[in-house]
Structure 1
């Protein structure tokens, strides 16, 4: 496969996953803001910082509030990571790789773009934000369903799946980080009722509340929830699960092309950081430091994947 085509497939599904995860990050901030009202500006600023778009935001806005932050992340043309921007980028990549996609996948992506162009034409009133976020999640699931239900399991599928796993790894880590590092008022709140409530809202924001109740015997405490979101290999948005998917997809590609790349080794090393770990030791090490290290490693791995498979060559 041409590197440009592989890159188009990979980035199409990275962008689609990013749209969903931006919605989840907004929801995390939205829900956590409901538990605290003393410093709303700092809370919404933390969402922008975690989204890695602080410089772009401050170039067009001079303060942080829910309305400006939400609309910047949903529909701001000057924000290349807004939902509207990344859905357009996903559709552009789908057009580039049209002959590699089934009709169902192409229609799902194109319909999503047309729907969001209409949905996000105007600023979203705060009362309508939950409904809009739900639509974004539903459309992302629709495209993934078309991918899983109609595509051959070959290198095309592997590059699509790899894009999903890399983006989800990065964004799950960021959602955890926005909770623990940016939104917790002070270390004295660790283990408090408010701390546990905020962790529970993060579970809901990644659609893992019911899964946690099914899979974990512990109560809704920070260590139990953090363990579920970071180390549980059964949870499809946990960091462990995402790292294992990245390593598995890269392994399939190395078999397909009969060549082991540097990215294979990097993925296995990242997965090794999560296997057999104890959440208590991670808390002692520093949860922010641990999660931030995984964000950095995921970024480096993504760059290596682009080099290994010559996406721009």
Structure 2
């Protein structure tokens, strides 16, 4: 496969995953922003959402003040924000269009339909019902694309590059979300384990569609160390850091077997997966959750660079 084809497929997977994450992030933050103002409410919640989306600095560069309306607009339909849902869907379609022959008809139609639907929303939100329809549309599009590729594509390099892009993006999103909760959301005078802390961790579980999974696994009230255990170390949870690292090893092994060679990306993914496999949540908290997440983000970013150098250039 040509490197430019592999790159387009990889980034198609990343952009679809990012659009889905941002839609879920907006939905969850609206819930968090409804807290009483004594808990920080609107401003604190949207500061965290922008940080989790990696868009805080770019937002502040063009918006002197923070409001829910401005943050939602920036994250949803702003064509100037490369991480907005609109930008992600458009970039996914651009990449997919360049390699249509590598996709099945169903995979292409899922992306093209998402793009056509996005055009109908324009570039300005006019009401909360419109926002709700937009969020549902993006989440449905992501599920349609995942389902189409899973059910119709050959298990070959085209499929593996799409999945690698989605997986590395998913890991990054989960890690950023956890770090934002730890660093930004909790007011300094609010105790860990307090009512606000409980609500925020529950909101994070909703953001990654993990609340039901949490209840099945732990059968306990929402506790920070158990949420972190689920989203960092539990390999049965598809959005956990450990599960994503394990998936990356599997996809790279499949590519290596098909091509007959391995490289630095394989070694990085294997080391990252082993590191998480040997970790314990009590040790992670003792050494610092923020530090552990920052280390993972650096390792995950390094893995993305090595994949690009090995396959996409």
TM range (shorter): over 0.9
SS at match of 1:35: coil
Question: Residues of 2 paired with 1:79 and 1:70: CA distance?
Answer: 12
Q: Is the 8 A contact 1:67 1:126 kept in 2?
A: no
Question: Residues of 1 paired with 2:27 and 2:273: CA distance?
Answer: 28
2:103 pairs with one of 101, 104, 107: 101
Q: Is the 8 A contact 1:35 1:198 kept in 2?
A: no
Q: Is the 8 A contact 2:10 2:164 kept in 1?
A: yes
User: Which is further off, 67-76 or 51-60?
Assistant: 51-60
Q: Is the 8 A contact 1:56 1:78 kept in 2?
A: no
Superposed structure 1 runs of 4+ greater than 6 Å apart: none
SS at match of 1:186: coil
Q: What CA deviation, in whole Å up to 9, does each residue of 1:175-210 have, x standing for no partner?
A: 222222110112752122321221111111211111
Q: Which runs of 5+ in 2 are unaligned?
A: none
Structure 1 residue 218: deviation in Å? 2.7
1:234 aligned partner: 236
Q: What CA deviation, in whole Å up to 9, does each residue of 1:97-135 have, x standing for no partner?
A: 111111110111100100112134432534543443232
User: Which is further off, 169-178 or 14-23?
Assistant: 169-178
User: Which is further off, 81-90 or 53-62?
Assistant: 53-62
SS at match of 1:273: helix
1:203 pairs with one of 192, 198, 205: 205
User: Which is further off, 115-124 or 74-83?
Assistant: 115-124
Question: What is the count of residue pairs matched by the alignment?
Answer: 311
CA distance 1:287–1:176, change in 2 (3 Å): same
Q: What CA deviation, in whole Å up to 9, does each residue of 1:221-271 have, x standing for no partner?
A: 111111111111111111111111111111111111111110111111111
SS at match of 2:277: coil
The question of 1:259 aligning with 2:267 is answered no
1:291 aligned partner: 293
Structure 1 residue 8: deviation in Å? 0.5
1:19 aligned partner: 19
User: Which is further off, 160-169 or 37-46?
Assistant: 37-46
- 1:102-251 to structure 2, matched below 5 A, reads 102-126=104-128, 128-186=130-188, 188-251=190-253
RMSD: 1.6
Q: Is the 8 A contact 1:42 1:64 kept in 2?
A: no
The question of 1:85 aligning with 2:83 is answered no
Q: Is the 8 A contact 1:84 1:120 kept in 2?
A: no
User: Which is further off, 71-80 or 180-189?
Assistant: 180-189
User: Which is further off, 154-163 or 114-123?
Assistant: 114-123
1:8 aligned partner: 8
Question: Residues of 2 paired with 1:151 and 1:124: CA distance?
Answer: 38
Question: Residues of 2 paired with 1:4 and 1:187: CA distance?
Answer: 51
Q: TM-score, normalised by structure 2?
A: 0.94
User: Which is further off, 239-248 or 208-217?
Assistant: 208-217
Question: Residues of 1 paired with 2:36 and 2:250: CA distance?
Answer: 41
SS at match of 1:162: helix
Q: Which runs of 5+ in 1 are unaligned?
A: none
1:54 aligned partner: 56
Q: TM-score, normalised by structure 1?
A: 0.94
CA distance 1:229–1:249, change in 2 (3 Å): same
